[in-house]
């Protein structure tokens, strides 16, 4: 990466998509900050049947807003719809609760595209004010200050991290995005990892651009972690080619070891028990999700076998 910001015309050649539901307050903070960086008419809010003023806030900021039925939302289908509905050589995806830190966030996010082999980029995510130690660590672990280029050559070294990408603040080169077939439909989680894996395995680069900074973090309950990772487990079952190229186990163990060391350094060793429980919820959700998806896919085959056996016995 040659600099910290893209040329101004590169930002004008981007279209920005923000899926939202009942997030008027978040959009009221986010959209003015974005409108100072990119023409507001290039920003599209896809509103999933909000009952608050989400659509009014979007239009009041000069942005486009398209409303869809809640039943039509999923992370892959809705973002594909948004991508088709905005202009531009580059497609930027954000979530309403990812707040840019500084006036050049989008320029820094798009800067790596000066290299024509780059297919996607993603921003550094910083913990929200008042974040708890586990929440802060997760952001520091996944979004360090050093830039990273994820490519086919780096796959043996990075493992599953070579396919890491977050649509909370990410950009895609439209030509490559469409060549890869866009996001899968339907897709309830990890559409960004799917696309990163497709791009890396096709020989394109995914660049982590830490000069593009957004404030965005969550602290999930144990049940929330289980539910989220259950969906991720089902995703990995349905897309086994990803885990075949980059096994999952080593990264989870590395995360937990680093997390415990961080808590000790920060004088928060009391959080180690919580960290272990959190890791257990993630591990259990991941494996239960994979097992449930395997049973779901096997059931039609088993039912056909049982039906065929019954018919044979009748004959």
Beta-bridge mates of residue 209:
123
pLDDT of residue 49: 96
Give the C-alpha separation, 195 to 204, whole Å: 11
Beta-bridge mates of residue 14:
90
Q: Are 210 and 119 in contact (CB under 8 A)?
A: no
Structural domain ending residue among the three candidates 158, 184, 219: 219
Rounded to whole angstroms, what are the CA distances from 153 to 119, 122, 144, 147, 157? 15, 19, 21, 16, 8
User: Per the structure, how many domains does the chain have?
Assistant: 2
pLDDT tens-digit map of 158-217: 999 999 999 999 999 999 999 999 999 999 999 999 999 999 999 999 999 999 999 999
pLDDT tens-digit map of 27-47: 999 999 999 999 999 999 999
pLDDT of residue 307: 58
Is there a domain that residue 133 lies in?
Answer: yes
Whole-prediction pTM: 0.92
Phi and psi (nearest 5°) for 128?
-70, 155
Over residues 225-232, the mean pLDDT reads 97
79 & 162 share domain: yes
Rounded to whole angstroms, what are the CA distances from 272 to 185, 249, 251, 262, 279? 39, 20, 18, 10, 10
196 & 136 share domain: yes
245 & 171 share domain: no
86 & 197 share domain: yes
Is there a domain that residue 234 lies in?
Answer: no
Sign, CA dihedral 81-86-92-96, equals negative
Phi and psi (nearest 5°) for 97?
-95, 10
**DSSP characters for 179-233?**
HTTSS-SS-SS-HHHHHHHHHHHTT-EEEEEEEEEEE------HHHHHHHHHHHH
Is there a domain that residue 233 lies in?
Answer: no
pLDDT of residue 310: 54
pLDDT of residue 304: 58
pLDDT tens-digit map of 64-101: 999 999 999 999 999 999 999 999 999 999 999 999 99
Largest CA distance in the chain: 76
99 & 209 share domain: yes
81 & 206 share domain: yes
Give the C-alpha separation, 50 to 2, whole Å: 42
Give the C-alpha separation, 118 to 262, whole Å: 33
Give the C-alpha separation, 233 to 52, whole Å: 33
Tokens 């039943």, located at residue:
71
Give the C-alpha separation, 126 to 144, whole Å: 9
Structure tokens at 107: 């320029």
Structure tokens at 166: 């977050």
pLDDT tens-digit map of 123-162: 999 999 999 999 999 999 999 999 999 999 999 999 999 9
Structural domain ending residue among the three candidates 172, 190, 219: 219
Structure tokens at 222: 């144990």
Res 305 pLDDT > 70: no
Res 267 pLDDT > 60: yes
């Amino acid at each position: 990466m040659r600099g910290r910001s893209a040329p101004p015309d590169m930002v004008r050649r981007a279209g920005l998509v923000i899926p939202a539901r009942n997030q008027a307050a978040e959009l009221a903070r986010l959209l003015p900050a974005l409108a100072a960086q990119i023409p507001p008419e290039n920003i599209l809010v896809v509103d999933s049947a909000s009952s608050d003023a989400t659509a009014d806030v979007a239009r009041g900021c000069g942005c486009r807003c398209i409303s869809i039925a809640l039943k039509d939302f999923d992370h892959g289908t809705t973002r594909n719809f948004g991508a088709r509905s905005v202009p531009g050589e580059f497609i930027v995806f954000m979530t309403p609760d990812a707040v840019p830190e500084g006036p050049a966030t989008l320029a820094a996010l798009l800067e790596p595209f000066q290299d024509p082999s780059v297919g996607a980029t993603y921003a550094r995510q910083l913990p929200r004010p008042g974040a708890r130690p586990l929440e802060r660590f997760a952001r520091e672990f996944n979004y360090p200050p050093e830039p990273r280029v994820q490519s086919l050559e780096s796959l043996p070294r990075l493992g599953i991290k070579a396919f890491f990408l977050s649509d909370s603040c990410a950009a895609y080169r439209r030509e490559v995005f469409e060549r890869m077939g866009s996001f899968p439909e339907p897709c309830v989680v990890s559409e960004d990892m799917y696309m990163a894996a497709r791009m890396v395995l096709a020989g394109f680069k995914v660049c982590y651009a830490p000069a593009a900074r957004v404030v965005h973090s969550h602290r999930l309950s144990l049940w929330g972690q289980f539910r989220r990772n259950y969906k991720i487990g089902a995703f990995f079952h349905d897309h086994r080619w990803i885990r075949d190229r980059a096994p999952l186990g080593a990264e989870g163990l590395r995360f937990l070891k680093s997390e415990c060391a961080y808590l000790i350094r920060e004088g928060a060793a009391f959080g180690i028990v919580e960290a272990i429980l959190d890791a257990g919820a993630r591990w259990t959700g991941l494996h239960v999700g994979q097992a449930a998806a395997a049973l779901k896919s096997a059931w039609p085959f088993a039912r056909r076998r049982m039906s065929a056996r019954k018919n044979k016995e009748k004959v």
